Amino acid sequence: MIRFALPLAIFVLMVGLLGYGLRLDPKKVPSPLIDKPAPAFSLSILGDPSRQLSTADMAGQVWVLNVWASWCISCRAEHAVITALAGKNLVAVIGLNYKDESADAVRWLEQFGNPYATSIVDRDGRVGIDWGVYGVPETFVIGADGLIKYKHIGPVTHESLEQKIMPILMELLS
């Protein structure tokens, strides 16, 4: 009897865990980096590899880091929203071009418009790993204290911009 009960109990437990997991929102994955210092980087600027941007250059500023790539379909979906955010001129919106060919990224920005104050190149994805990026697009809000205040996974929508990102930015800027 126990020979059949144990596998059945394990099966029921696994089905229960799967059912619970399927109800979770994948965009609400807690980031261990929230309220931690933004990981340091010093990367070449897209289109001008002789220049660099580093986290030290952003010290004392509230800013947004948007991780994007020319091959990313979802990045196209959020592009108008990132452009709208940048157009508010509240904070610097920095692009992190992730695992992309620079020529493709430059062409993409020429085609769709460039909302970024600066876009930096993370060709091998190492900086993305430091920031906990596991897919594009992802967007981070960084406070003037250098701490990550918010991480948005997936494309930013007008709704998420107005309901989540803008209130955080307004609080940080006040």
CATH numeric code, 29-173? 3.40.30.10
Q: Is the pLDDT of residue 24 over 60?
A: no
Residue 52: strand, helix, or coil: strand
If you average pLDDT over residues 19-36, what whole number do you get?
Answer: 67
Residue-range domain boundaries for the chain: 29-173
pLDDT of residue 92: 98
93 compared with 12, residue with greater pLDDT: 93
pLDDT level of residue 14 (50, 70, 90 thresholds): confident
Task: Find tokens 């059949």 and name the residue.
Answer: 4
The C-alpha atoms of residue 119 and residue 76 are separated, in whole angstroms, by 16
pLDDT level of residue 28 (50, 70, 90 thresholds): low
Residues facing 37 on adjacent strands = 147
pLDDT level of residue 5 (50, 70, 90 thresholds): confident
The C-alpha atoms of residue 133 and residue 131 are separated, in whole angstroms, by 6
pLDDT digits 0-9 by tens, 76-129: 999 999 999 999 999 999 999 999 999 999 999 999 999 999 999 999 999 999
pLDDT digits 0-9 by tens, 114-133: 999 999 999 999 999 999 99
Question: Which two structure tokens, joined as six digits, stand for 48?
Answer: 């001008």
pLDDT of residue 23: 64
Residues facing 85 on adjacent strands = none
pLDDT digits 0-9 by tens, 42-65: 999 999 999 999 999 999 999 999
Rg over CA atoms, the chain: 19
Percent of the chain with pLDDT over 70: 89
Q: Is the dihedral of CA 57, 147, 124, 97 positive or negative?
A: negative
Mean pLDDT in the chain? 91
